[in-house]
Amino acid sequence: MFTANPVNGDRRQALISSTWGCGEGLVSGVCNADEITVGLYDNSINTQTADKDIALRQCPDGGCGVSIVAAGVVAGGTLAVCRTFIIVCRGDCRVGLYVRRVAQFTG
């Protein structure tokens, strides 16, 4: 998660990139990622969902290995709206604002 949008430099937006499997797939660029832009001062959420056909999974003996993502979830989103707000809340100091937003989406 970036607490300022690195794509356009906007400090009023957080950018979350997520994919299936361990974070190494995202960091290395091996796996395609969903991108979720969250407005830090409003209730905006914009999601770009990628086709995620592979994931890096932790191997029992250590390290990561490539696994094929099941056909039914390749184009699925990796984060629900309420989970997105929780992640932003933990990475940002305006906790009270996000707790209210999470409550709004989770009932």
Considering only residues 91 and 15, tell me which one the structure prediction assigns the higher pLDDT. 15
The per-residue pLDDT for range 55-94, each reduced to its tens digit, is 888 888 888 888 888 887 777 777 765 566 666 665 554 4
Which pLDDT does position 98 carry in this prediction? 45
Second CATH level (architecture) for the domain 13-78 = 2-Layer Sandwich (3.30)
Which pLDDT does position 62 carry in this prediction? 85
pLDDT grade, residue 97 (50/70/90)?
very low
Mean pLDDT score of the chain, rounded to an integer? Answer: 76
Whether 2 shows a pLDDT value over 50: the answer reads yes
Considering only residues 40 and 81, tell me which one the structure prediction assigns the higher pLDDT. 40
Q: CA nearest 47: which of 36, 38, 55, 60?
A: 36
Which pLDDT does position 16 carry in this prediction? 83
* Measured CA distances, 100 to 95, 105, 106, 107 (Å): 9, 9, 10, 10
Q: CA nearest 37: which of 88, 86, 103, 77?
A: 88
